[in-house]
Structure 1
Amino acid sequence: MTDARVPPALATTVRLLADRASAEPDRMALVVDGVGALTFAGWAARAEAAAAGLAARGVRPGDRIGLRFGAAGWADYAVGFCAVHRAGAVAVPVPAGAPPGDLDRMLGDCAAAGLLHEDGAEPGWSAGWTATVAALEASGGTAPEVQVRPDHLAQILYTSGTTGRPKGVAATHANLTFGCGGRRRPFAHSEHLAHAFPIGTNAAQLMLVTALDARPTVVTLPRFTPARFAELIQRYAAGTVFVVPAMAIELLAAAVPDRYDLSSVLLLGSAAAPLPGEVASRLVTAFPRASLVNYYTSTEAAPAQTVMMYDPQRPGSVGRALAGGQVRVAVEGGGPERVAAAGETGEVWLRSPAAPRAYYGDDEASGRVFHGGWVRMGDLGYLDADGYLYLVDRAGDVVKSGAHKISTLRVEEAVYQHPDVVEAAVVGVPHPVLGKRLAAAVVARGPLTAELLRAFLAERLPAHEIPARVVQVDALPRNTGGKVDKRAVLQMLT
């Protein structure tokens, strides 16, 4: 059948799914290992039936609908997400593990009308109607025709809250599907693309849109463990694999390259957080045929991003902007117009040609972050003479100790170089004289004393950058998006 692509300027998730269902009805779109799968025709038919069920519940264009699914519910989540859009409504993905208070705040903030959830799970919300996707599909009836345009609001995704209370980031269809519908399908070198991103994160949303537009079948699993994920890659001979740094660290710590065949992987992508240089170098060895690519973006900035193919000459860089995007480092305290000189540390801003995002219902917060298409990343960094971006730290994580401003990312990079260190997080803890001093929480393969680690770091860092306190822990605390929660680390160390 002829593949009649959706013109990129007209792309919406509704059009993308209809396009694939028409052109490749029997092609597998999504597989949840051991749980279920969707062909494009099946995905479209189920979404149509579920959209009819939404209409029967009174859902109208513009209504906000929450979606709360765990990893085992990826197929139903994909159906529910597209059904919400087919009904002209706005999808609000929320983490499955969000406590009731957070769930109430998120769904209350956007005035959600209802919540979709997976079978057998308690919805955990009582302020509106709740339903499973299966219940919507069984409602019968026909979904009314609704015009869904690229400039219509498509989703509200709440930030992980690493720097404060989560905020709802609103994206239109044009933003969400930017770059889709082109003549060549992404990741054309692969038959299968494997990931294990949790639903409710920006990375997961990228995988959902990838399933709609890219060539490979997207495969995931109901629960991530290093061995299960490595076995998934091996069994499907995945040519493309996406991880977050925490997963990469777990894969290396479990020595899965010694037990599984990972030679099918030609592209290994890392997203959601900076990838420590030492971890990157180990991944290159673990995945011998893969190009290792680090993606730097945020929920607010997407689809703007920098992309860096691992280069041992630039192990700490997160790359340069691609696909018509731009990256800029500006003088701290100013807007994106006050450009810093090459090598000068300042605030990192990103911009893409796509329709920008904004904070839902919060013009004041939007004004601090979004500026003329530019997005303030909340990170400090610098550009080298060739335009490669290097991150110094989160703006709120730079530690002022006495007369020194210290990058915790730089210290963590040095800690990772110790052969027994699996993972580390460095924060500033209160000090009566210096204001703050450094402390490190470290996950190690065996006993690692503070004295031994500090002696190791003394050969790599100046004295004021060596943590005064080192605590060995079993695991680092993380938020629902898988990022290290430095506020929780600080509580551990004070």
Structure 2
Amino acid sequence: MNLTVPQLLGDRALTDPDGVALIVHGSAQLTYRQWHERSTALANGLVTRGVGRGDRVGLVFGAADWADYAVAFCGVLAAGAVAVPLSDRLALDDLRFMLENCRATGVVHAAGLAVPEIGWSATVDALDVETSYEKADIAPPEPGDLAQILYTSGTTGRPKGVSATHANLAYGCGAKRRPFAHSRHLVHAFPIGTNAGQAMLINALDAQPAVVTLPRFTPARFASLIESYRAGTVFLVPAMAIELINAKVAERHDLSSVLLLGSAAAPLPSAVAQALTTAFPNATITNYYTSTEAAPAQTIMMFDPDRPGSVGRAIAGGRVRIATAEGEPLAPGETGEVWMRSPAAPRAYYGDPDSGTFRDGWVRMGDLGYIDADGYLYLVDRESDVVKSGAFKVSTIHVEEVVYRHPAVIEAAAFGVPHPVLGTVVTVALATREPLAPEDLRIFLKDRLAPHELPAHVITVDTLPRNAGGKVDKKALRRTMEGT
């Protein structure tokens, strides 16, 4: 059954108008009726501003603005336009690049945020007062129409926009049995502008429980949220799981209501998964492996001490294989590239259909791994040097490009080093023309990089080590860090 996102919202508003869809704890909540009415009003406001079918509209919001963001997202799609979700944590330079890259006609944003001057800009409230709740004469989108462009940092340095149709986003939705039916509330803390965050938005439209989030994650706040709502389902990233464990929240909060705890965005270390089974005594601990490019294809692994390194098997009609760079399948146990295939309409890089990542319905994941004889996938290493810090991916090439703008910098190399909470953080090695204190570099970078891209460590070297091919030897730099 091919549906569109506006159809999902309209059907839910019709069958469960007073049901609570989304709660931002201490801030706002949306019923399905409110969500539908406000999105319709916003769609009308967009049409009044001249937004047409297929136009790209940037959406810049923060974690405290999930309710307004949900309204804006569905309103843009109801107008027949394409939503471009963007986090308020991005640097203005990156926001401008993304909006220009997708040729956005305008921006809907949270109140009080500074956004690049790209076409028009407006808040949700401003668009709401410009129109009425009467539905404008807008042709509804089709399942094959483009619905979303989500930017992700790739290995080439600059973020790439991953496009998804309505059929892709709504795949598997609208079934008689709604997902997570064991729960009245689903709690998460994923950022807006990430693939995991978008999955939670679709859950708010289609799943049984109300989706609950909070303006800012801290272990105590998150645990208190779970306890107060008696949440049956919880989603987080490994960094959050580590913080919860280190803060010993289970000693102060009753987390026994949780029956499913899902971890996404990065592999969940087995030691962390084991600790979670103690903190959440009734929960099945589950690791989800996918990517912005491959979704909704994914593997799922219910924590199994006998398979501590596995990220599971493909589910719900998706497929995973290990292959060469040319796509030739490899035998079980052989290490090669991880490829995934979605059962839904595939995604693509916006404006770059021949990137090499998408091939004949398959997606090259950028990871190396192998599949055992029972079909379980194991990741071996990342092909690139992209740093995964908490819920975010950081391009080291992009960091280097910005560091090079400092007049004192001769050479720069960015790479990842382990961190007990975030998994990995960015480190920058510099050769400089004159002394440059780490604090001064961070001040220079503060408005040019997002917070998660800022280097946690800065080291100065005479020259950067290079291999025989002339490329910077980042393994040698990591060994240097280990010795400091």
Q: TM-score range by the shorter chain?
A: 0.7 to 0.9
Is residue 71 of structure 2 the alignment partner of residue 97 of structure 1? no
Go from structure 1 to structure 2 and tell me whether the alpha carbon gap of 1:35 and 1:354 turns closer, same or farther (over 3 Å shift). same
Cα distance per residue 1:435-477 (max 9 Å; x no partner): xxx9954449xxxxxxxxxxxxxxxxxxxxxxxxxxxxxxxxx
Secondary structure at 2:201 match in 1: helix
Picking from 242, 254, 278, the partner of 2:247 is: 254
Q: Which residue of 1 aligns with 2:37?
A: 45
What TM-score do you get using the length of structure 1 for normalisation? 0.79
* CA distance in 1 between partners of 2:194 and 2:318 (Å): 22
Picking from 165, 170, 174, the partner of 1:172 is: 165
Is residue 276 of structure 2 the alignment partner of residue 286 of structure 1? no
Do the aligned partners of 1:190 and 1:238 also contact (CA within 8 Å) in 2? yes
* CA distance in 2 between partners of 1:439 and 1:185 (Å): 40
Query: Displacement, 1:397?
Result: 4.7
Query: Displacement, 1:127?
Result: 2.2
Q: Structure 2: which 5+ runs fail to align?
A: 389-395, 397-414, 422-448, 460-473
Do the aligned partners of 1:160 and 1:481 also contact (CA within 8 Å) in 2? no
Cα distance per residue 1:322-357 (max 9 Å; x no partner): 1011110013x321xx11111110000001210000
Picking from 350, 365, 376, the partner of 2:364 is: 376
Query: Displacement, 1:281?
Result: 1.0
Give the root-mean-square deviation of aligned CA atoms: 2.7
Q: Which residue of 2 aligns with 1:126?
A: 117
What TM-score do you get using the length of structure 2 for normalisation? 0.81
Secondary structure at 2:370 match in 1: strand
Is residue 270 of structure 2 the alignment partner of residue 299 of structure 1? no
Secondary structure at 2:153 match in 1: coil
The residue type equivalent to 2:291 in the other structure is S
Q: 1:74-153 counterparts in 2 under 5 A? A: 74-122=66-114, 124-141=115-132, 142=134, 143-153=136-146
Go from structure 1 to structure 2 and tell me whether the alpha carbon gap of 1:175 and 1:484 turns closer, same or farther (over 3 Å shift). farther
Q: Which residue of 2 aligns with 1:12?
A: 4
Structure 1 runs of 4+ off > 2 angstroms?
141-145, 160-164, 438-444, 479-494
Q: Which residue of 2 aligns with 1:328?
A: 321
Q: Which residue of 1 aligns with 2:353?
A: 363
The residue type equivalent to 1:265 in the other structure is V
The residue type equivalent to 1:350 in the other structure is M
The residue type equivalent to 2:350 in the other structure is Y
Q: Which residue of 1 aligns with 2:196?
A: 203
Q: Structure 1: which 5+ runs fail to align?
A: 1-7, 399-407, 410-426, 428-437, 445-478
Query: Displacement, 1:129?
Result: 0.6
Is residue 383 of structure 2 the alignment partner of residue 395 of structure 1? yes
Cα distance per residue 1:94-127 (max 9 Å; x no partner): 11111111011100000000101112222x2112
Do the aligned partners of 1:160 and 1:480 also contact (CA within 8 Å) in 2? no
* CA distance in 1 between partners of 2:359 and 2:130 (Å): 45
Q: Which residue of 1 aligns with 2:48?
A: 56
* CA distance in 2 between partners of 1:329 and 1:240 (Å): 32
Query: Displacement, 1:483?
Result: 9.9
Is residue 62 of structure 2 the alignment partner of residue 70 of structure 1? yes
Q: 1:182-197 counterparts in 2 under 5 A? A: 182-197=175-190
Q: Which residue of 1 aligns with 2:301?
A: 308
Picking from 319, 325, 331, the partner of 1:341 is: 331
* CA distance in 2 between partners of 1:192 and 1:309 (Å): 21
The residue type equivalent to 2:20 in the other structure is M
Go from structure 1 to structure 2 and tell me whether the alpha carbon gap of 1:353 and 1:90 turns closer, same or farther (over 3 Å shift). same
Do the aligned partners of 1:162 and 1:485 also contact (CA within 8 Å) in 2? no
* CA distance in 2 between partners of 1:251 and 1:481 (Å): 21
Is residue 203 of structure 2 the alignment partner of residue 215 of structure 1? no
Query: Displacement, 1:309?
Result: 0.5
> Number of paired residues?
413
* CA distance in 2 between partners of 1:112 and 1:209 (Å): 23
The residue type equivalent to 1:385 in the other structure is A
The residue type equivalent to 2:384 in the other structure is G
* CA distance in 2 between partners of 1:115 and 1:363 (Å): 25
Go from structure 1 to structure 2 and tell me whether the alpha carbon gap of 1:98 and 1:484 turns closer, same or farther (over 3 Å shift). closer
* CA distance in 2 between partners of 1:386 and 1:480 (Å): 41
Q: Which residue of 1 aligns with 2:374?
A: 386
Do the aligned partners of 1:244 and 1:482 also contact (CA within 8 Å) in 2? no
Query: Displacement, 1:482?
Result: 7.1
* CA distance in 1 between partners of 2:98 and 2:265 (Å): 21
Cα distance per residue 1:29-86 (max 9 Å; x no partner): 0000000000000000000111111111110110000000000000000000000011
The residue type equivalent to 1:88 in the other structure is G
The residue type equivalent to 2:99 in the other structure is L
* CA distance in 2 between partners of 1:304 and 1:485 (Å): 32
Secondary structure at 2:306 match in 1: coil
Secondary structure at 1:167 match in 2: strand
Is residue 343 of structure 2 the alignment partner of residue 353 of structure 1? yes
